[in-house]
Amino acid sequence: MEVFLQQLINGLTLGSIYGLIAIGYTMVFGIIGMVNFAHGDVFMLSAFIGLILFLALQQFLGLHSAALSFLIVLFLSMALTGLWNYAIERAAYRRLRGSFRLAPLISAIGMSIFLSNFVYVAQGPRNKALPGSFDEVIKLTHGGAYDVTLSYKQILIVVVTAVLLAAFWYVVQRTPLGRAQRACEQDAKMAALLGVDVNRTIAATFVIGAALAAVAGVLYLLYYGVVNAADGFVPGVKAFTAAVLGGIGSIPGAVIGGLLIGLIEVFWSAYFSADYKDVAAFSILAITLIFMPSGLLGRPEVEKV
């Protein structure tokens, strides 16, 4: 029972991170029908930006308050990662909208390789470890074989995720930008005829997706305390799995899918085999796409000729 409760907490924490990344996949797919293969590497890049900003605040400004530096780092890396994804969209994807179907995917694969190797070259191959902060834990049970703990980190991750999801939900549902996004998602050509600036809306989608990935990146850095240039690939695929599982194109689906993938990964590691935890995620991806391509909340795709 203690193990179960502990894994439930761990799984929800990890799942929040996956959910935040998954939204970036699902939004881009919804609006331009493209699998943004580089999104996992954008997430990794944001973790590096977060790491460097943390260190810069400590070393150049002598800021040692964990909470304050966390807030500053969070917002700065959201902005910088958003700018990165804006530039990526402009340079690598925008011209490919009228090209053949696989062109954006191939370009995104190239961008993914470029980004991970860019960080590798710029920051070196070694793991970068950040000294822990928010390490205090709350003991939820006492006296059993095993104390169930809830760390401040985990609370922080879940709370930050919830707050940002609420803000994001507001943007999509209640602002003109969100309305334009939903319009482009339904019919980009019609939206353009009605005066929506489609290019600007798509760029905004990439920026928002990257900002959420940056939140995930900073939280990931905080949670694991270590980041490496190769860390974009597997979390990226897992978050994509989450997006597919929840129904690609559906934003609540992405969050639910993320939580599910986090829980499955954690429970799989705890009860079966940690060696095969990636196999579990990859198998879910394959099985979902083959047997349930519209996921839990997605709409079935209608093929128009």
Partner 1 sequence: MMATGSDAPSPARTALVDAAKTGLVAGLLAFPVLALRAEPDFSNKLVLQQRWSWMLVAAIAGFVLRLLLALAPTAKPKSATQTPTERAARKGPKIFAAFGLAIIAAWPFLVLLVVGPSGALKWIDNYGVQILIYVMLGWGLNIVVGLAGLLDLGYVAFYAVGAYAYALLSTTYGVSFWLCLPVAGILAAFWGILLGFPVLRLRGDYLAIVTLAFGEIIRVVLINFSALTNGDAGIASIPRATFFGLAFVAGPRGFDAFFGLPFSPVHRLIFLYYLILVLALVTNMVTLRLRRLPIGRAWEALREDEIACRSLGIDTTKTKLTAFALGAMFGGFAGAFFAVRQGFVSPSSFNFTESATILAIVVLGGRGSQIGVAAAAIVIIGGSELLRELDFLKYVFGQDFDPTQYRMLLVGLAMVVMMNWRPRGFVSTREPSIYLGASKSIGADLVQEGRG
Q: Of the two residues 33 and 252, which places its CB atom closer to partner 1 in the complex? A: 33
Q: Report yes or no: 45 and 81 within 8 Å, Cβ to Cβ.
A: yes
Q: Compute the half-sphere exposure of residue 263: CA atoms within 13 Å on the CB side of its CA.
A: 11
Stretch that binds partner 1, among 94-102, 141-149, 158-166, 210-218 (CB under 8 A): 94-102
Does 96 bind partner 1 (CB under 8 A)? Our answer is yes
For the segment 261-290, give every residue that binds partner 1 (CB under 8 A). Answer: 273, 275-276, 278-279, 282-283, 285-286, 289-290
Does 75 bind partner 1 (CB under 8 A)? Our answer is no
Does 145 bind partner 1 (CB under 8 A)? Our answer is no
Does 52 bind partner 1 (CB under 8 A)? Our answer is yes
137-139 and 149-151 beta bridge pairing: antiparallel
Residue 77 makes CB contacts below 8 A (sequence gap 6+) with 46, 49, 50, 53, 214, 217, 218
Q: Residue 128: what are its φ and ψ, rounded to 5°? A: -105, 120
Does 63 bind partner 1 (CB under 8 A)? Our answer is no
Does 233 bind partner 1 (CB under 8 A)? Our answer is yes
Q: Of the two residues 9 and 207, which places its CB atom closer to partner 1 in the complex? A: 207
**In this structure, what token pair is assigned to residue 253?**
């689906």
DSSP state of 143: S
Count residues near partner 1 (CB under 8 A).
Answer: 68
Does 164 bind partner 1 (CB under 8 A)? Our answer is no
**What DSSP string runs through 198-240?**
HHHHHHHHHHHHHHHHHHHHHHHHHHHSEE-GGGGHHHHHHHH
Q: Residue 207: what are its φ and ψ, rounded to 5°? A: -65, -45
Q: Of the two residues 193 and 275, which places its CB atom closer to partner 1 in the complex? A: 275
3-state SS assignment for residue 70: helix
For the segment 123-142, give every residue that binds partner 1 (CB under 8 A). Answer: 123-124, 126, 128-131
In the complex, which residues of this chain contact partner 1 (CB under 8 A)? 34-35, 45, 48-49, 51-53, 55-56, 59-60, 77, 80, 83-84, 86-87, 91-92, 95-96, 99-107, 109-115, 117-124, 126, 128-131, 233, 237, 240, 273, 275-276, 278-279, 282-283, 285-286, 289-290, 293, 303, 305
